[in-house]
Copies of this chain bind each other. A is one copy, B any other.
Amino acid sequence: MPKISKKGQMMPESPIRKLVPFAEDAKKRGNSVFHLNIGQPDIKTPQIALDAVKNNDIEVLSYARSEGSEAYRIKLAAYYKKNKIDISEKDIIVTTGGSEALLFTLGSITDFGDEIIIPEPFYANYNGFSTANGIEVVPIVSSIDTGFSLPEIEEFEKLISPKTKAILICNPGNPTGYLYSKEEIEKLKALVLKHDLFLIADEVYREFVYDGMQHYSIMSETGIDQNAIMIDSVSKRYSMCGARIGCVVSRNKEFIQTTLKYAQARLSSPTYALLASEAALETPQSYFDEVIEEYVERRNTLIKELKKIKDLKVSTPKGAFYCIAELPIKDADDFAQWMLEKFSDNNETVMVAPASGFYSTKGSGENQIRIAYVLNKESLIRSVELIKLALEQYKR
């Protein structure tokens, strides 16, 4: 029998999705499951985007341009300008989701055995994309006790080797909810310039910033045009996760030219989703105002309720729609599965993502879970109540 690759064996299972079969079994037994495990918002997609697809007049569903149409990229550049990111349409390659943007980026800047440094906990699929590219993630620990702020630059420097190609951050952070300050970005800037590294920022949660704070993009920083690569996506901004449209943005022309070759090899992003994404750029500000207001309420509700649980530790997220909670148990993987398999109250239970999959350091985050506050307030209150009940009943 021919063999699966080592790489394929090493590919991690998704910590967000691996418990899905247990959730399905729970539902088959008649339980409702509150899904706090996945960043799939329940927020309505902007009507203008939905309408663009419903009213399309496509007769031959043909390929789009590999890099995205010029018209769409020009509109995207205008959107970025409004967000204080002054780039040209030539600095953009449209991709099939932020996922593909990351894959193209890693392919364009790393070779087999290279390393990238990522503050952990980090978006779990960075592990998968790195494994798929045959490179190593070198994690640098950020702590729940500092709200997951940027680790000291000296700690980064200790980890830089001749194989280090890039530092990757997610800002605002999934799963931490942390928002990097201008000062933190400037520290990273100095570091990547000193060591000639790429700085990749996954900024797909740009709009989800709370308490009057401002998002500061690495693309707003001068002097790192050759180093800075931004990852973006329409998924969260417009509650369009199923579109699968994202982009890579960089002023480094050689990098963009290389990324284009990856884009050409896969021919095109999905055409219907491009229609929706282009139309979504006309979404009125009122949509975002309402969405942000809703998320702030959800966050406040979630954190308030979580803090009622004895011995539970949580830091208040400043952005995105996730938080990490440290539970008074040893094995959150087992607990999350147990909640689906063995626990229910009034035929209801909760699905969360065990946080261990968001760490690369073995043994880290084993008593933590990631909660996505993508449900309405009532559901969040009930979900935390269920977690509280479950913790009381769970004895291991």
Give complex CA distance A352, B216 in Å. 46
Say which residue of B62, B96, B103, B111 sits within 8 Å of A40 (CB atoms).
B62
Partner among B13, B54, B273 whose Cβ is within 8 Å of the Cβ of A264: B13
Chain B residues contacting A62 (CB-CB under 8 Å) are: 40, 241-242
CB distance from A33 to the nearest CB of B (A): 15
The CA-CA distance from A377 to B244 in the complex, in Å, is 37
Interface string of A236-256 (1 = CB under 8 A from B): 000111111000000010110
Question: Does A32 sit within 8 A of B, measured CB to CB?
Answer: no
Main secondary structure of the interface of A (DSSP, over half): loop
Any B CB within 8 A of the CB of A375: no
User: How far apart are the CA atoms of A155 and B129 in the complex, in Å?
Assistant: 37
Of B53, B58, B111, the contact of A6 (CB 8 Å cutoff): B111
Contact between chains at B42 and A60 (CB < 8 Å): yes
Q: Among B56, B128, B265, which residue has its beta carbon within 8 angstroms of that of A128? A: B265
Neighbouring B residues of A66 by C-beta, 8 Å: 14, 17
Minimal Cβ-Cβ distance residue in B for A45: B61
Smallest CB gap from A274: residue in B: B242
A90 → B minimal CB distance (Å): 13
* A129 contact from B64, B192, B197, B265, Cβ within 8 A: B265
A48 at the B interface (CB under 8 A): no
A56-B275 Cα distance, complex, nearest whole Å: 15
**In the assembled complex, A291 has its CB within 8 A of some CB on chain B:** no
Shortest C-beta distance, A219 to chain B (Å), equals: 16
Within 8 Å by CB of A258, from B2, B4, B252, B266, lies B4
Contact, CB under 8 Å: A7 / B107? yes
Tell me whether B196 and A1 are in contact (CB under 8 A): yes
**Interchain CB contact under 8 A, B264 and A128:** yes
Find residues 266-312 in chain A having any chain B CB closer than 8 Å to their own CB: 266-273, 276
Q: How far is the CB of A48 from chain B (nearest CB, A)?
A: 13
Residues of chain A at the chain B interface (Cβ within 8 Å): 1-9, 11-14, 17-18, 38, 40-45, 49-50, 53-56, 58-64, 66, 96-97, 99-100, 103, 107-112, 114, 125, 128-129, 132, 134, 165-166, 192, 196-198, 226-227, 239-244, 252, 254-255, 258, 261-262, 264-273, 276
- Enumerate 28 A-B pairs (CB-CB under 8 Å) in ascending A order: A2-B165, A2-B166, A2-B227, A4-B255, A5-B114, A7-B110, A8-B109, A8-B262, A9-B258, A14-B261, A40-B62, A40-B63, A41-B60, A44-B59, A44-B60, A61-B239, A62-B241, A96-B96, A97-B266, A97-B267, A99-B267, A125-B266, A128-B265, A132-B265, A241-B268, A242-B268, A272-B272, A273-B273
Which 4 pairs from chain A and chain B are nearest by CB? A242-B271, A128-B265, A270-B270, A14-B264
